[in-house]
Amino acid sequence: MTQHLFIYGTLAPGKENHHQLKGIDGQWQSAKVKGEKRMHDPYPNCVGVDIRKTRRWVDGLLFSSTELVDIWQHLDNFEGPGYKRSLHKVELATGETVQAYIYAINHKYKKRI
């Protein structure tokens, strides 16, 4: 079964953490999601994903693959507890919408010093 991951930062092709998807076959498409993107430590964070009141969009890429199911745990570990993977409605350049996983900032996680 094909699964989808919306990417808006360092996992994208040509970015510093794209190697985390090494060996995974899939398709890339331009996409966007309602929400906000902010920089934090110096990486982008998607916050306020899918808020109905916002008119802002976060541009990114949709990665679709039947092999994502095999690497979710790896990606969850890579992203760490500061990020939470959850499903959201993503809009493709064609206007079509799909449900895709997004790693967004985990507001329940408090960094321990």
Domain that holds residue 89: 3-105
Neighbouring CB atoms inside 10 A of 43's CB total 12
Domain assignment of residue 113, yes or no: no
CATH of the domain at 38: 3.10.490.10
User: Cα separation of 87 and 13, whole Å?
Assistant: 22
Domain assignment of residue 10, yes or no: yes
Domain assignment of residue 8, yes or no: yes
User: How many domains, the chain?
Assistant: 1
Give the predicted TM-score (pTM) of the model. Answer: 0.86
Query: What's phi and psi for 39, nearest 5 deg?
Result: -90, 140
Domain assignment of residue 57, yes or no: yes
Please check the confidence at residue 48 and state whether its pLDDT lies above 60: no
Domain assignment of residue 112, yes or no: no
User: Cα separation of 21 and 34, whole Å?
Assistant: 24
Query: What is the pLDDT, as a whole number, of residue 43?
Result: 59
> Quick one: tokens of 48?
């306020």
**Mean pLDDT confidence for 11-23:** 94
